[in-house]
Structure 1
Amino acid sequence: MKSTSRFLVMPLALLVALQAGHAVAQDTWPSTTIKIIVPSSPGGGTDVYARILAFGLTDSLKQQVVVDNRPGGNAMIGAQVVARAAPDGYTIMVSASPALLLNPVIYKNLPYDADKDFAPISAGVISPLLFVVHPSVPARTLGELVAIGRKEPGKLNFGSAQITSATSLGVKILEHVSGAKFSHIPYKGLGQAFQNLLSGQIAFVLSDFPIALTHVRAGRLIALAGTHRTKALPDVPTTEEAGFPIGEVNASFMVAAPAGTPAPIVHRLNAEINRLMKTPAIAEKLEAHVLIPVFGTPEEFAARLKSQRAMWTDIIARIGFKLE
């Protein structure tokens, strides 16, 4: 009996010790650098938002927060890195729509489970989208762009952040409602797409505002229409005003952690992000880039993901979208 009792007590003591260690780890978090994985190339809106967060969190958490871009595979490469990371609060992801929202709708087989492998933290921000063309393209309105796509199907090419991004699907919706046809060149992020757009190698992009705004104001690109009216470009009509309603198509830059990340850390990050986006300094940066904060809890973000997946499932079926 004594021997049996001794072996029963040892696992119990070990369990208590492990639980105590886990609690201590949460209490001392963060004690080292936090890495934000961005599953797209530098320069696009996702990267801009991630760096705004990294700046703010470094100050508020009193610990260095760095951005690590892992583009490729329609955001699957970076997302998989996060899904496989230790759930200790030191690796988080700032992603556009593909990783958690659109890939699960479009792909039958993913190298990760968008529901089971991630802990939602924050819905982050949404960015209205903007049709911008190279000045050499003979179109100064969305109607003129569509007219070229109808008259000469496939002549004009466009770039997107990824095949499964809103910057790609928004153009597919435009094709569906207008009857135009364009040739698609997907990139690993808008940063890469804009290099070719500015040099005239591609004709146009449906872009988020952070990367397009400076070039439009400098006259290097022409803005035709956006998904929202904005104070940043007050004279640019919406796609609906231009005669081509494409619906609520926006870029979303959201925050998640590996599944199993302790709830206190998830909620601490959520609270810090919500608070930061309300501070004058960060709010000013977001407004300058036309990034609209979405406040809420991790649970509300999880519910938002489910409702948006249902919306996109319907849209993709309606327009007959298929992977190229």
Structure 2
Amino acid sequence: MFTTPRIENTPASPKRRGWASRSTRLTAVVAAAAIASLLSACATGTAGAADDGAEFPEAGSTIEWIVPSAAGAGNDILARIMAPAMGEDLGVNIKVVNKEGGNQVIGLNALASAKPDGLTLGFTNIPSIFGRYLDPSKQAGFDRESFAPVGSFALNDIVIGVNKDSPYTSTQELFDAVKASPGTITVGTDSRAGDDHVNLRTLEKELGLEFNIVHYNSGADKIAALVSGEVDFALGGVSSFIGQAKSGEINVLSVLSDVPSPFFPDVTTLNEQGFEVAPMSNNFAVSVPAGTPAAAVAALEAALQAATEDPDVVAALENAGTVPNWMPAADVATLWEEREATTKPIIAELIAGE
């Protein structure tokens, strides 16, 4: 297990939580139910309107975990790690269902429009989801109020990487080239107005840079372009880079975090390299449709937390290039609202400038 200290990106708790004992489980469920009831009320205007008091989940039921990307992609891998552990805890089968397309909008639409009975959940990763519904061109049928958070189980640090044959052996060399020839050094993103795009715009503003930004349809397409030499560099989550970095096809130049990544311990952070930028990371958050009964949300939250704290799951998440890090539903809701408020004007600026 990684021992690198992390600063948890949650308003309620400044440090990563430790392991929770099973004896605290009942208290957690009760507290989660109360919080979920409040979240449900905020999302729908009525607390627990669909809750008829029946036990959740019913024996023999199947829960669908919607993944808005292709089988084998990062989100899919993580869902297939988490789903069996959650299913075992709940005593039901959790089936992973891939609904890819439209820069994840198809899958997210399916999640938002699903029956709010607790039998459908899915990824609503922060901040990547913002580019899906804050960009009018994507014609999303959802927004933040379409969902009720269940929790977040892992973090994905952001890194900058180049092709193995790149002339740039350091971030300093890369950024010097950008400053010497503004608007010509190419960088790939996983979507227009997505988190990569927002993070790159933040770097441009904070460091006085101008990139030639090239948008792709997915993280996999972005990485393929980097490996082939189609773009000069790329920015994104560790989990997207780690496979090609291990194989030697990509060199990671810096980590945009407050501490070095446990996956690349020899790579220093951007701040350590002399570039002062606020840390960037992604939260792998899970939500259900707004209006889902509070008791169902609480049961799912408790199961998600238990899975996050399972040693076998922790090892699998780390092997997939993520840092296991539990954040409860209430904190995810607060984080979502706060980061949407800071990201929204950046996305509006990006759209207006294209």
TM-score band, normalised by shorter chain:
0.7 to 0.9
Aligned to 1:214: 243
Aligned to 1:8: none
Deviation, 1:40, is: 3.3
Alignment of 1:42-121 (within 5 A): 42-98=71-127, 100-103=129-132, 107=136, 111-121=140-150
- Residues 263 and 99 of structure 1: CA distance in aligned 2, closer, same or farther (over 3 Å): farther
Helix, strand or coil at the partner of 1:36 = strand
1:285 aligns with 2:316: yes
Which has the higher mean CA deviation after the structures are superposed, 143-152 or 60-69? 60-69
1:262 aligns with 2:293: yes
5+ residue gaps in structure 2? Answer: 1-48
Match of 2:229 among 183, 190, 200: 200
Contact 1:58 1:64 (8 Å CA) reproduced: yes
Aligned to 1:12: none
- Residues 297 and 29 of structure 1: CA distance in aligned 2, closer, same or farther (over 3 Å): farther
CA distance in structure 2 between the partners assigned to 1:212 and 1:219 by the alignment: 11
* Higher relative contact order (CA closer than 8 Å, sequence separation 6+): 2
Helix, strand or coil at the partner of 2:151 = strand
Helix, strand or coil at the partner of 1:306 = helix
1:168 aligns with 2:185: no
CA distance in structure 1 between the partners assigned to 2:126 and 2:140 by the alignment: 17
- Residues 192 and 20 of structure 1: CA distance in aligned 2, closer, same or farther (over 3 Å): closer
CA distances 1:119-167 after superposition (whole Å, capped 9, x unpaired): 1111332211111111232111111111222223333322222223322
User: How many residues are paired up?
Assistant: 303
5+ residue gaps in structure 1? Answer: 1-18
CA distance in structure 1 between the partners assigned to 2:184 and 2:311 by the alignment: 46
Deviation, 1:42, is: 4.4
* Percent of paired sites with the same residue: 25
CA distances 1:57-101 after superposition (whole Å, capped 9, x unpaired): 233334332333333444332211111111122221113335654
Larger radius of gyration: 1
Deviation, 1:306, is: 1.5
Helix, strand or coil at the partner of 1:68 = strand
1:239 aligns with 2:270: yes
Deviation, 1:212, is: 1.2
CA distance in structure 1 between the partners assigned to 2:186 and 2:327 by the alignment: 39
Match of 2:281 among 226, 237, 250: 250
CA distance in structure 1 between the partners assigned to 2:79 and 2:255 by the alignment: 23
Alpha-carbon RMSD across the aligned residues, in angstroms, is 2.9
Deviation, 1:175, is: 2.0
- Residues 108 and 20 of structure 1: CA distance in aligned 2, closer, same or farther (over 3 Å): closer
Deviation, 1:30, is: 5.8
- Residues 20 and 223 of structure 1: CA distance in aligned 2, closer, same or farther (over 3 Å): closer
Contact 1:215 1:221 (8 Å CA) reproduced: yes
Contact 1:174 1:244 (8 Å CA) reproduced: no
